[in-house]
Amino acid sequence: MMEKVVGVLAHVDAGKTTLCEGLLYAAGALRRRGRVDHQNAFLDCDEQERRRGITIFSGQAQFSWQGQHFTLVDTPGHTDFAAETERALAVLDCAVVLVDCTAGIQGHTRTLCRLLQKYRLPTFYFLNKCDRPGADPQAVRAALQQAFGGAVVDCTSLAADGALSETAREELAALDEQLMERYFDGTATGDDFLRAARQLAESRALRPCFCGSALQGTGIEPLLHGLALLFTTSYDESAPLGGRVQKVRCDPTRGQLTFIKLLSGTLRPRQPLYLHTAHGEFEEKCGELRLFSGEKSHSVPQATAGQLVAVTGLHRAGPGDGVGWVADTLAPTVTPALQVAVLPQDGLPLVRAAELCRLLEREDPLLGVQYSPQLEQLQLQIMGPIQLEVLAGQLSTRFGARVAFGPCRVLYRETIKNTVVGYGHFEPLRHYAEVHLRLAPGASGSGITFESACPLDLLDKNYQNLVRTHVFERTHKGVLTGSPLCDVHITLLRGRAHLKHTEGGDFREATYRAIRQGLEQAESVLLEPVYRFTAQLPAAHLGRLLADVQKVGGSFLPPETAGGDAQVQGLCPVAGFMDYPPQLAAYTGGQGSMSLQVDSYRPVPDPGPIIDAIGYDKVRDTENTSDSIFCAKGAGYAVKWDQVPAMIHIKD
């Protein structure tokens, strides 16, 4: 049976979960359809989802149609949970983008379609709420084609046998030269049109479009036919095992559940799995295998290529990690631009709050938990205020812990402008490790990268691998503001171990100190996040918006206007626009809206006031020390960073 994993994506409140209910009901997987407003939707499994009426966590369900097995993935539509949506994209075979026909293309829809382009997924459109006053499916279809490319052909007429309306056939013929010739000479068959549509959809040249109403159940059956007929998958369950981790969930009874999309091979309980993570490569033995549908799940004796299966017993896997022959780890496109301080309540110790936040970080690595007992600080990276409310709810319901949060602040980053060599030496009594690292500016958006140029006769391969692990296992802080370090290429030049005295953790200390000592020498640069924004508003208010963008140092493309409305796309610093959407809604009388997504980081034009305002004390931050430890007369002693080069043991 052909396996397909299909995701449904949409701007918040467009009717996405309602469409999922309709698909499952039409396929016979549900006896009755739930409703978001009745708090009984099948895929809204979390209490906060039911109460708020929005999807927060991606959910999945199983159904069959036309002899094929489908895993349906419902994704969050709110921008605060866009990272959860992106994690789902990595395991999909196809995506259905739902568009509210009464609202047209909304801001987050643009973000989603850009992500689909990155992941090269076949894309179907479902134009929802076509029964509502003001709905204009043809105008929305034309707008989708103009905005995102591909031929958007109305396939609502698609029947179970693949038959299409004459209008759809004519539009398909225009996309394929050979099919066009046969169409005009009258020799083209239904199979010819179906074959051409399938090839065009799989290459993304065609975006099949279906019109209907998810709430009324219209247009859903043709969409199911499209998912069955207009793209195929081919997975080899006899090939070597390979897969991709979608997400991690902590289950109160089964422990950590790791959801893996199998790309090839067959997986069985207690089978060893080779994991490729950002922190290194590990082998772990899987436990039980379970298939989920909504809140319910059942154990299976094996999982085969094409399936999305939950695995117990894994502790080191994280979202985006590769399994088996899939040797890379996916870096997210969607990243947070804000950070907050966690403020424990009711006597909750800060260290306990940090432990609980790290449990949530297992599920959402982008939380970027930063805990410093010396500075008495616990900070999280977040997408927006709704996410904060959800985090507080999770800590309360899952762990009985009550917390508050400080004000949202911009999440700055730091990088370097010049190349330096950092030295780290760690030699308390009966310990020993020395590491020399070259730190060089990396490409914008590259993060932290690593290579080794150290000869094996100088440092054993196992120790070199340890250095690599320690480079990636934590978020290193810059020396200007303590912000995360990024866009730095680190090269291991030299290293030394001691046959008797090197212990576990020695190379961790030496690596951390070498990075920090290099940063002390380098010319550091403070970076600020930049939003890519899309704003829709009445044209009468366009002048104020453009003036506000320019006031904060932003830029914009030429505005598009039609029928008294305007749309503007551009870039602006997060610091100047993080609170702008409610302002826009206020001065347009609720008629203006704006979507924001972090696009990139750029140097801050005037970093001095920001550095002073943050007030980071690198000397007090002893967890990120740049000093080294040497040994003399049977005792270790600290050496300041600027004196370390004169005392290192490995000379050039």
Span between the terminal Cα atoms of the chain, in Å: 62
- Check whether 1 has a pLDDT greater than 90: no
pLDDT at position 45 is 67
Q: What is the pLDDT of residues 153-175, one digit of tens each?
A: 999 999 999 999 999 999 999 99
Q: 338-411: which CATH topology?
A: Alpha-Beta Plaits (3.30.70)
Q: Report the C-alpha gap between 383 and 379 in whole angstroms.
A: 13
In which residue are the tokens 């631009």 written? 337
Per-residue pLDDT, averaged over 610-639, amounts to 93
Amino acid 507: pLDDT: 97
Question: Percent of the chain, pLDDT > 70?
Answer: 99
Rounded Cα distance between 361 and 50, Å, is: 23
Q: Two tokens at 322? A: 């590769």
Statement: 3-229 belongs to CATH 3.40.140.10: no
**pLDDT tens, 280-333?**
789 999 999 999 998 889 999 999 999 999 999 999 999 999 999 998 888 888
Query: 308-311 and 448-452: which strand pairing?
Result: unpaired
Mean pLDDT of the chain: 93
- Write down the pLDDT at residue 44: 72
pLDDT of residue 515: 98
Q: Name which of 208-212, 340-344, 382-386 the model is least confident about.
A: 382-386
Distance CA 109, CA 356 (A): 33
What is the per-residue pLDDT across 249-279, written as a single tens digit (0 to 9) for each? 988 888 899 999 999 999 999 999 999 988 7
Structurally, at CATH architecture level, domain 242-324 sits in Beta Barrel (2.40)
Q: Taking 90 as the threshold, does the pLDDT of residue 50 lie above it? A: no
What's the rounded mean pLDDT across residues 623-635? Answer: 93
Mean pLDDT of 80-104: 94
pLDDT value for 110 = 86
pLDDT-derived band at 453, boundaries 50, 70, 90: very high
* Cβ atoms of 71 and 23 closer than 8 Å: no
With the C-alpha atoms ordered 564, 569, 571, 575, is the resulting torsion angle positive or negative?
positive
Mean pLDDT, rounded, for 134-144: 93
CA distance 398 to 393: 8
Residues 22/220, Cβ–Cβ less than 8 Å? yes
Residue spans per domain, the chain: 3-229, 242-324, 338-411, 414-522+617-646, 526-608
What pLDDT, on the 0 to 100 scale, is given for residue 37? 62
pLDDT in the model for residue 38: 63
Which CATH architecture is the domain 414-522+617-646 placed in? 2-Layer Sandwich (3.30)
Q: Do domains 3-229 and 414-522+617-646 have the same CATH topology?
A: no
- Please give the share of the chain, as a percent, with pLDDT higher than 90: 79
Distance, CA of 532 to CA of 598 (rounded, Å) = 6
Q: Can you name the CATH fold of 526-608?
A: Alpha-Beta Plaits (3.30.70)
Confidence of residue 36 (pLDDT cuts 50, 70, 90): low
- Report pTM: 0.87
3-state secondary structure of 425: strand
Q: Which helix (H) or strand (E) holds 259?
A: strand 255-264
| pLDDT (tens digit per residue) in 454-500 | 999 999 999 999 999 999 988 999 999 999 999 999 999 999 999 89
- Across the range 553-557, mean pLDDT stands at 94
Model confidence at 99: pLDDT above 80: yes
